Chain A
Amino acid sequence: MSPWAMVELEPAEAKRQISEGALGALLATKRTRVIAALARHFRDIDLAEDGYQDAALAALRNWPQKGLPHDPAAWLIKCGRNAAIDRLRKQKRLAEYQRDNPAETETGDHEAMLAEEIDLSGLRDDVLRLMFMCCHEELNLSDQLALALKVIVGFPVEKISRALVVKPKAMEQRITRAKKKAAATAASLHTPTLQERTARLNSVCTMVYLLFNEGYSAGGGDRHIRAELCEEAIRLARLLLELFPSQPEVMGLLALCLLQHSRRAARLNDEGELIELGDQDRSLWDHDAIAEGKVLLEKALLRGRPDAYQIQAAIAATHCNASSADETDWTEIAALYLALEELQPSPVIRLNRAVAVSKTEGAAAALTLVEPLGKALDAYLYFHTTYANMLLTLGRKTEARDAYRRALQLGPTAAERAQIDNKLRQLQK
């Protein structure tokens, strides 16, 4: 038998049908860009969303038979523009639109648009503008996230209300209100100068990071992690990095999100409760995400402008480098927390530094860092357990017992409660 025949071949005529799932996935990768371009063109987010919907439906009808267009995003933008103009015509708003866009006459617009090359380099600012609108300073954080999930990510209201733990009806109203506020800003957003672009990018990075955190340490509701929010935040960070490939802030942001999210499968026990880093099964960590996060962090650090994202990513990477909790490089972690504290002084960062210091210099040194934090972190369960652990190590039993008891008053999970009860029993011996 010739080696040629040893591998069984698929029939040559087997058709390569594009599955609905694959088309949907392709459309989803282009969605934000298309909406951003349409929103800039029409200065109307609702119309942009509708135009995209129409274009996506047209793509689902056309692409399976005719094949994929050379540039799917450009195809969707052109198609979405025509669909939006049709909608304006039906709503009798076309005259108003034409008055604002005298270059496009009703009869010639279709051909003119098809002939026109879509300026894809402008898309970068379009996407940034759309995302920046969603973090308008007049919107509170939860409205910003809701609007971003609706407009940028494309979640249905029902899904957003579940993710942010708000009733659907109320969510709908909040999104409508937020959209109006955002639209008012949009009208005044011109093409940014270099400085403005950096400022917009910073705001957008913050919003993406907050979205990630909303999923990573989900506050309300019945789940400690809402992976879908983390994943969407990671996608938005990827999109930003694609558009701004040389920005170390964006590299650090994506690295941080990837490294934190890499531990998701190990972070919850069977009861859905959080497991501390030191007790996690490290074989469950996502090593692909860790590899990518570490490379992006290295790239960012080459720029020599370490910021809070990069330092936090470096802390996460140091944890990821240890194959067991005992092998953690606590000296490095203590140094990184010190750098972070200098950049962003905060009691929680100090507390985390103290934990690292307790591993390298011992509980006594750590305690001097923790003691002044009692007032600021009195309502923070993790402060009291950390403080108590240090006191216990130093044999100061009465104070340790008080601290553990205070922790019990701060709503521990069942697993945390079991651990604290265990310590208290130890103290009674």
Chain B
Amino acid sequence: MYYALLIYGVEGVYDRLPEADKEHIMKKHSDLQSALSDAGKLGPVVRLIGTSSAMTVSRQGESLAVTDGPFAETKEALLGLYVVEADTIEEALAYAKRLPAKIGSVEVRPIGWAGGGDVTMGDG
């Protein structure tokens, strides 16, 4: 079974953290990534650019409207996500607990179907 670990938090907080906190956070990410990778359980890992850069397409009556900004205005925004393989939701939760979420939260969400994947991604 595959799970998405959806990382939510307040935008702009990471940017203002002291260097030591930033390093601690990056270390947690790299530790989890290498552990999952060694176990052959690591899927794509994504860091999203801020919600102000987003645009949203939605139906308005007969036509499609394109608006600036995210779909929903929320206190916490989706900042990034992991796709991981786990046998149980408990295992997926354990991975989520290893992610830094000092201010924010990680939603563990089972994936129904995933496919595609012809593009090798790196920096935007």
Contact = CB atoms under 8 A, between A and B. Distances in A.
Interface of A: 2-4, 6-10, 12, 14, 16, 18-19, 21-26, 28-29, 68, 70-72, 235, 238, 241-242, 245-246, 254, 287-288, 291-292, 295-296, 299
A71 B75 contact: yes
Contacts of A295: 49, 53, 124
Contacts of B18: 21, 24
A3 B95 CA distance: 13
B64 interface: no
B17 to A, nearest CB: 5
Nearest to A246: B68
11 contacts: A2-B87, A3-B87, A4-B86, A14-B97, A21-B20, A25-B14, A25-B16, A235-B15, A287-B123, A295-B124, A299-B55
Contact of A21 (B21, B52, B97): B21
B122 to A, nearest CB: 10
Interface string B1-21: 000000000111111111011
B10 A29 contact: yes
B88 A12 contact: no
Interface string B81-124: 00000111001001101100111000000000000000000011
B10 A296 contact: no
A7, A12, A68: most-surrounded residue (chain B CB, <10 A): A7
A23 B67 CA distance: 33
B16 A7 contact: no
Contact of B12 (A4, A8, A235): A235
B102 A22 contact: yes
B49 A9 contact: no
Contacts of A9: 94, 97-98
B44 interface: no
B36 interface: yes
Contacts, number: 98
CB-based closest 8 A-B pairs:
A291-B124, A245-B69, A25-B16, A22-B102, A21-B21, A21-B18, A29-B12, A6-B39
A7 B12 contact: no
Interface string B59-85: 000000001110000010000000000
B26 interface: no
Which of B52, B95, B102 has the largest number of chain A CB atoms within 10 A? B52
A333 to B, nearest CB: 23
A22 B13 contact: yes
- Scoring B15, B35, B36 by chain A CB atoms within 10 A of each residue's CB, the highest score goes to B15
Given A18-B102, A25-B17, A238-B52, A8 B35 contact: yes
A239 B124 CA distance: 23
A70 B97 contact: no
A8 B55 CA distance: 39
Given A6-B38, A246-B67, 6 more contacts: A16-B101, A25-B17, A26-B13, A28-B16, A291-B49, A291-B124
A227 to B, nearest CB: 13
Given A7-B41, A235-B12, A70 B52 contact: no
B41 to A, nearest CB: 7
Contacts of A245: 52, 68-69
B39 A3 contact: yes
Nearest to B51: A242
B50 A22 contact: no
Contacts of B55: 299
Contacts of A299: 53, 55, 68
B116 to A, nearest CB: 22
Nearest to A294: B124
